[in-house]
Homo-oligomer: A and B are copies of this chain.
Amino acid sequence: MDQAEHLLHAAQDEVAAGIDALFDRLLAVPADPRARLYEAMRHAAIAGGKRLRPLLVRAAGDLFHVDRTIGLRVGAAVEAMHVYSLIHDDLPCMDDDDMRRGKPTVHRAYDESTAVLAGDSLHALAFEWLCDPATHGDPFVRAELCCELARAAGPTGMAGGQMMDLVAETADFDLPTVTRLQQLKTGALIGFSVEAGAILARIPAEGRRPLRGYARDIGLAFQIADDILDVEGDEALAGKALHKDDAAGKATFVTLMGLDRAREQARLLVDQAIAHLAGFGDEAALLRAIARYVVERDH
């Protein structure tokens, strides 16, 4: 293992443990009829996933010496938003998936109505945790975080991308449209995660430009890698069903570019993402390692 990989794994382990501990505390099961709702949220949120988004908050925060406990709280909020989107995305009326992160999906382990409400609850909690004065003492920072997260989650971000994804099942999307779809569906929340690190350090929008460029490039590279894994990946490692895009006849980066060009394009985007960080020194080593990881991962 080289130094960058070591740095990545150490941070990933620390962030994953921190997120699990936070979720465990923030999602304590109440002794009333809402217990089932909290259990469903815990089922989906605890001990699962790569925790890429909280890792990005931490890595970007490290650039500006942001307190890591604060970064972790913001990471928990982004991860809650991500988990909510997975729960709703897995619903029978959406992708109708049975497995997620190696476990039954929420509507399979519980039921459909509990899954809808568990997603809705995590969606609201993401904002509640961000806005909490415990997250940051400066109300300007809290308000800006909420505003950016709302944009990343709503119809101009994740939800808009999911709508495009539904339309993609019956429409013939070209490469620019698939790129736009993915920028909304996964790019927006990845972008928020990276930018949040800088918002926490009160870096104005202008100064966050290189980070936005980095996030845009790794977001797209991440999705291209996902499309490649959907074709070539191992279902056991992925913990979910694969080969679904192909079965649905959906245009993806792989169907539009072919495997070789898709792989080449992902590598190019990673180089470009790292180039955006040229103004930073060693403090950006984790962000660089993450950029390489998003295309080299096996699940």
Contacts and interface: CB of A to CB of B under 8 A. Distances in A.
A169 to B, nearest CB: 10
A117 B151 contact: no
A128 B151 contact: yes
A236 interface: no
A17 interface: no
B125 A127 contact: no
A114 B164 CA distance: 11
A130 B34 CA distance: 28
A94 interface: yes
A215 B88 CA distance: 32
Contacts of A88: 116-117, 120
B91 A116 contact: yes
Q: Interface SS of chain A: helix, strand, loop or mixed? A: helix
Copies of this chain, count: 2
B93 A160 contact: no
Interface stretch (A56-64, A137-145, A268-276, A284-292): A137-145
Nearest to A148: B131
Interface stretch (A3-11, A35-43, A47-55, A68-76): A35-43
Interface residues of A, number: 55
A147 B124 contact: no
A130 B124 CA distance: 14
B94 A154 contact: no
Interface string A130-162: 111000000110111011011101110101101
A117 B163 contact: yes
B143 A139 contact: yes
A121 interface: yes
Contacts of A120: 88, 119-120, 123, 153-154, 159, 162
Given A36-B167, A93-B111, A131-B150, 8 more contacts: A33-B168, A36-B163, A37-B159, A93-B112, A113-B166, A117-B159, A119-B120, A123-B154
30 contacts: A33-B168, A33-B177, A33-B181, A36-B167, A37-B160, A41-B155, A88-B116, A93-B111, A93-B112, A93-B116, A119-B120, A120-B153, A121-B154, A121-B155, A121-B159, A121-B160, A123-B123, A123-B154, A124-B150, A124-B159, A125-B154, A127-B127, A127-B150, A131-B144, A139-B142, A139-B143, A139-B144, A142-B143, A142-B146, A143-B143
